[in-house]
Amino acid sequence: MDVDIVCVGFGPATAGFLTTLSRQLLKADGTPAIESTVTPGMPPQILCYERADDLGFGVSGVVTRARGLRETFPDLDPKQIPMAALVAEEKVVYLLDPIGASRRSWTVRAADACLRAFKGLLPLKNDALELPWSPAFLHKTGGLVLSMGQFMQWVGAQIQSTGTVQIWLGTPVSEALIEDRNVVGVRLLDQGVDKQGKPGEGFMPGMDIHAALTVLGDGPVGPVGQQIDAQFGTPENHHSRDWAVGMKFVVDLPENTPLKPGTVLHTFGFPEPEIFGFFYVQPDRIASLGIFVPSWFDSPMRTSYRYLQHWMLHPYLWRYLEGSKLRSWGAKTLGESGRRGEPHLAGNGYARIGEGSGSTNVLTGSGIDEAWTTGTQLAESVLELLKAGKAFTKENLEQSYVSRRRTSWLESEARVAEKSRDGFQKGFVRGMVGMALAGLTNGRLALNGEPVPPYQRIPTLEEYYRGRISPEEIDQLGKECRIKGVSLHSALMQRCGWPAIPYDGKLLVSHQDALLLGGKVQAPPGYADHVVFLYPELCQKCGTKICIELCSGQAIAPGQGGVPAFDREKCVHCGACYWNCSQSVPGNPERMNIAFRAGTGGLHSAEN
């Protein structure tokens, strides 16, 4: 099938692209402002293929300065968007460890002891310190608290109502079509196949969609982005080794909640110092809250779900959350390499936008506004080229799109942020100091620390628990968990003093209930497994099996012969396994042993 422009993935960047583009394709009288090359007499034929089953499934709640959004929607009224509120109050809170199970360095322990010793002089309440001051670069003053799911539904409806763009849902793109180093379109995913991808009943091979321009907005773990990186390489010294798993709950707060819409809380220090938390209050007593587990939290037992529950139970937060009810749940990974993870932004026949293009600002913790802006910048460039009758060559796209991006606030702020988190590579305290330095000096100063791939940084279980649990006991617990077919982290955390979660069936629910009640996770039949263990022998010798421990949906479990088993029906497509595998494949130190391919299904909630 031939079209003019095909987009891969409908996230905030593609939404920005299509919003800007769709407004200028028709004249006021309804005739084409620009003519299609494949359907003469019509406006350009623009299609967008999205993996998820509906608009806004699988993206996450956010607080944003909304600069880019307001450039597109100057009269933006949060009341138009469900679950949106103006930022009213921001607090940064240091959480102490009320349990004694958190793994804290001596510097953090010393700081905690000082805080507790001087608690009469400090605003220390509920085992937490509300920082009396926080740097301006962290603030989102004047910004918005949003449910990205609801925002994407809102903006998606507007785009489609123009009648100039079609957003096809539940339709993953398998790969880019490449001819002589030119991207000439995309191939959709095969349907009617078994788990291994072999044709079965109702087999329908993925259709080829030819387009003059392919817009890649498939996020940080998108298979087409991966393919383009593999095919065309990445700029020198650029790599994507920093990332985080974000996991969240959307809850109904109790009726007597004192929290006002627009309240924003950022936490650090607990359940582990490296884990950051967020708590955004939305209208109608709804709140989005959760944690980020970063790549530099060097634990082979990095479970997001269990840590999220302990975080909610912290006295500072629990006083707000007690009596709350789960509405929605979700998880995603975030590419946190920022500008250092930027791929080639354009080539012959393609351009990259959004998080997968390295747009996230790792200093300000801001990604949506940046992603949206990359989309609008590309749209302006595309309109410019279409009106001038110029082809979508690498040269033309660099002169229009890439140069626009380079001269905008996106680039200048990304440069300030570029090394701001390097300090975390050598410890939490050093990381916080490095961030402050970079932020307060506009990036002139930063603490060094080169990010390394996971297999160079994740310790073995025995190393991580040295002095706390003996290797024999770890081995014994591992055997018991394998027999039960469950992950190991709960047993080890319990052994280290983390208390059992007091399930209440409303907010504190099992991981499976969060998946089914909150995430409503689904996977349609007839598609191949999208998570593949490339070299089973590497899995067999892997001691940590970190893919099982961190899997956001419990979709990866102990399997036969030491190779983990993947259950597509539980996968939320967060991509944590892809980032975090501790085994590199032979001949490619940047490529881990898990392939994360195109797939269908996932979350069925538009509230995240």
Binding residues vs another protein (CB under 8 A): 1, 47, 53-55, 57, 82-83, 150, 153, 156-157, 160-161, 163, 166-171, 188, 191-192, 202, 204, 207, 209, 284, 327, 505, 510, 512-513, 516-517, 520, 522, 524, 526, 567, 570, 604-607
Q: From the CB of 566, what's the least distance to another protein, in Å?
A: 13
- The distance of closest approach from Cβ of residue 512 to another protein in the complex, given in angstroms and rounded to an integer, is 5
Considering beta carbons, is residue 129 or 326 the nearer one to another protein?
326
Please state the closest distance from residue 176 (CB atom) to another protein, in A. 16
- Name which of 82 and 277 has its Cβ closer to another protein: 82
Q: Which is nearer to another protein, 306 or 570 (CB)?
A: 570
Strands 556-557 and 350-352: unpaired
> Shortest approach of another protein to residue 123 CB, angstroms?
36
On the CB side of 470, CA atoms within 13 Å amount to 3
Measured from the CB of residue 45, what is the shortest distance to another protein in angstroms?
8
Looking up tokens 């190991």 gives 488
Q: Hey, what are 523's tokens?
A: 């996977």
| In the complex, least distance from residue 593 CB atom to another protein, rounded to whole angstroms | 25
Measured CA to CA, the distance from residue 344 to residue 216 in angstroms comes to 12
CB atoms within 10 A of CB 122: 14
Three-class SS state of 425: helix
329 or 579: whose CB is closer to another protein? 329
Q: Which is nearer to another protein, 190 or 229 (CB)?
A: 190
For residue 338, give Cα distances in angstroms to 203, 361, 362, 415, 452: 40, 6, 6, 9, 15
Q: Are 515 and 554 in contact (CB under 8 A)?
A: yes
Residue 282 region by backbone torsions, left for phi larger than 0, else alpha for psi between -120 and 50, else beta: beta
CB of 181 to another protein, least distance (A): 26
CB nearer to another protein: pick between 363 and 507: 507
Cβ 311 to another protein shortest distance, Å: 23
Between residues 64 and 191, which has the closer beta carbon with respect to another protein?
191
Give the span between the Cα atoms of 230 and 234, in whole angstroms. Answer: 8
Question: Is 28 within 8 Å of 148 (Cβ atoms)?
Answer: no
Torsion, Cα 439 368 148 357, to 10 degrees, reads -130
Alpha carbon separation from 510 to 513, 517, 571, 602 (Å, rounded):
5, 10, 16, 18
Report the residue number, 149 or 246, with the smaller CB distance to another protein.
Answer: 149
